[in-house]
Structure formats: C-alpha cells, structure tokens
Amino acid sequence: MATTIKDIAKKVGVNPSTVSRVINGTAAISEETKEKIMAAMKELDYHPNILARSLVNGSTFTIGLVIDAGNSDAYANTFFIQSITAIEKVTQQLGYNLLITNHTERETENAVKNLVLEHKIDGIILPVSSITEDLVNLLNANQFPFVVMGEPDQSYTEGNWVDMDNEGGGRLAVKHLLDSGYRHPVLFVENKGTTFEQKRTLGFLKALEENRIFPSGNSIVENCSGRDAITLKIEKLLTDHPETDSIICTNNIMAYHVLQILRQHRVSVPEEMGVITFDNYPLAEYLDPPLTAVDIDTYLLGEQVASTLFDMIKKKNRKEEATLIETKIIQRKSTEKR
C-alpha cells in the first residue's frame, strides 16, 4: 500500500489534519513540525491520493478534450495534434491533466455527458463538429465550463469559442498576391458549405473590393473537387479569362492538383500563374515549386482554447467575445513573380 497522510502523521506524532495543512499551506504551522513533516514525506515517498482529494473538494484537476479524428480529413490531424500539444502544455502547467475522448457518430454526446455528470472532469474542449444543441443545453444547465474549437454556425454558444480568422485569411491571400505583383486573382472553392470556406470567400471578396479590383467575369470558381473537375475548370479559365494570373485554393489537395495540372498545360508557376493555398500542410514545402500558404499558428490556437477554458474554470464566468487567431503568409516559391 502506498503511504498516506495518516502514515506520516503517525510517524511524526501529529494529527493528519496538520499534515494536510502543511501540504496545502492552508494554515500557520510551526517551522519545527513543518520540517519534520516534510522530512517524513520525503522519507516515506509520499504522494497525495488525488481521488480522495477530489472527492472532498469536488474538483478533479482534469479537463476533457474531444477529438474528431474519425470523420475529418487526415490532413487536419497534423494540425490538430499541434493544438493538442499546446492544450496539454497549458493544462500541465496549471497542474491539471487532460482526458481525451474521440468523437464518434452516435456516442459523443453520451460520452461527454458521462464525463460531466460522473465528475471526471472540471471543464471540456469540444470541436464544432461535435456539439449539439442538447449537449450545449446540458452544459449550460450545469454551469459546466466548456469552450468550442471553431466557430459554431448556430447561436447557442455565445462567446466561448476560438477559431482561426478565416475571413482575415482570405483578405491576406489577396493582399499577398497583389504585393507580389499579381493583378487578377481567382478563388477556387469546393462549395462544401463549410463555415470556414464561406469565411475565406467573404474575405477574398472584401479584399477585391477594397482594392478596387473588378474582374471581367466571376472571380470565384466553384466545385473544385477531384482532379478531373479541376482540370476542366483550369482549361476553361485559361481560355475564357486569359488575364487570370493567380489562383487561391481553399485547401491543399486542391492546390496539389492545380500545380500538377498547370505543369501539364505548360503554364509556369510562379511566372505565369501564382498559386497560394490555405493551410500549411507539411509537404507544401517539398512540392515543385514549393507552395506559398496562408497558415495559422495551431499551437497558439491550442493555447488560446486552453486558457479560455481555464479562465472560465477559475473565475466561473463566461467570456463575452469569441477569439480569432490571426493568419499569416508562409512565403514560398509559388508566388514569387518578381
């Protein structure tokens, strides 16, 4: 059996409560006994039993994190693990532990409910993809601290979410292309109806307007998913709008295809056509040419999420404003028009 507070109390000849008090520094204890107790703790290699402690003060010093590895694309995971790392770091620094639960079709809601109702965690971080109105209601009813990763399209979560600034990212992509000497950018989208794509599109359009760019046709090319579809789009673009000199892709796979298709069509990148993508996936720098990307600091995002949660846990108050993480350009060869 492991050493308990009683063991060391007995050894020193003192009451368990005294030991507890020196551990927590929660009352004045004479230097003398304090030292004796510390010595005994060392000698008997004492480690507090968190369970017992949690039971009495109702806090487990553990937070939950739901991850969505199943249905999101494999690429996002690379990012996500950086966020996890950051979340874990903050968590550990504050003396907490991190419990993870995978988001699965049916079970997430129950799993989360159990974690909450069985008192296993003090707070929870959820990806947008895993929240439901029921769940949010439950959490709110219990005044349970939670923060959402990604911007919810519903209104039932106010304030407590953190996301990358997709609109700003769209703006930034345009700005970078203009700064690099391109004049006629188009945006390739998949039209999946995802919030982030809509925001990126919005930023793109606003930036065009702000810079007084009025394209001859529609500057947004829709349904760019799959190699064949993209090939057709590009061919049409080259013939119908030969003035086009740069392409912004809303995701990486799209960008890889674009690069290959342009090479096949002997359109040189970055001279004749600049290409920039969202999300700085790991291999972007090894492509030919290396791809410029609009990136976010996923580590920072994780830090923000975690500290938002801990603010709520500590101060017991909701945040009023959401947090947006700024994007930045990772400049590589694919936009070096010069």
Partner DNA sequence: AAATATAATGCAAACGTTTGCATTTAATGA
Partner DNA sequence: TCATTAAATGCAAACGTTTGCATTATATTT
257 binds, among a second copy, DNA, none (CB under 5 to 8 A by kind): a second copy
Q: Is 294 a residue that touches a second copy (CB under 8 A)?
A: no
Q: Is 146 a residue that touches a second copy (CB under 8 A)?
A: no
Binding mask 118-137 for a second copy (x = CB under 8 A): xxx-----------------
Q: Is 114 a residue that touches a second copy (CB under 8 A)?
A: yes
Residue from 256, 258, 274, 277 binding a second copy (CB under 8 A): 256
- Rounded CA-CA distance 58/233 in Å is 59
Of 69-108, binders to a second copy (CB under 8 A) are 69-70, 74-75, 77-78, 80-82, 84-85, 88-89, 92, 97-102, 104, 107
Angle of helix 16-24 versus helix 31-44 axis, rounded to 10: 90
The stretch among 45-53, 122-130, 156-164, 205-213 that binds a second copy (CB under 8 A) is: 45-53
Token digits of residue 33: 């006994």
Residue from 27, 39, 232, 283 binding a second copy (CB under 8 A): 283
- Rounded CA-CA distance 172/170 in Å is 5
Closest CA to 127 of 147, 149, 105: 149
Residue 315's identity, in one-letter code, is: K
Hey, how many other C-beta atoms are within 10 angstroms of the C-beta on 35?
13
Give whichever of 16 and 289 is closer to DNA, judged by the CB atom. 16
Contact yes or no for 108/126 (Cβ under 8 A): no
- Rounded CA-CA distance 336/172 in Å is 16
Give whichever of 6 and 47 is closer to a second copy, judged by the CB atom. 47
Report the nearest approach of DNA to the CB of residue 134 (Å).
23
13-23 as b/e, with b when 16 or more CB fall inside 10 Å?
A: ebeeebbebbb
Contacts of 70 (CB under 8 A, 6+ apart): 102, 103, 104, 105
Residue from 16, 48, 159, 215 binding a second copy (CB under 8 A): 48
Report the nearest approach of DNA to the CB of residue 46 (Å).
7
4 binds, among DNA, a second copy, none (CB under 5 to 8 A by kind): DNA
Of 155-194, binders to a second copy (CB under 8 A) are none
Report the nearest approach of a second copy to the CB of residue 154 (Å).
25
Residue spans of alpha helices (H) in the chain:
5-12, 16-24, 31-44, 50-57, 74-93, 108-117, 133-141, 166-179, 195-210, 227-240, 252-264, 298-315
The residues binding a second copy (CB under 8 A) are: 2, 45, 47-52, 54-55, 60, 62, 67, 69-70, 74-75, 77-78, 80-82, 84-85, 88-89, 92, 97-102, 104, 107, 111, 114-115, 117-120, 253, 256-257, 260, 281-283, 286, 288
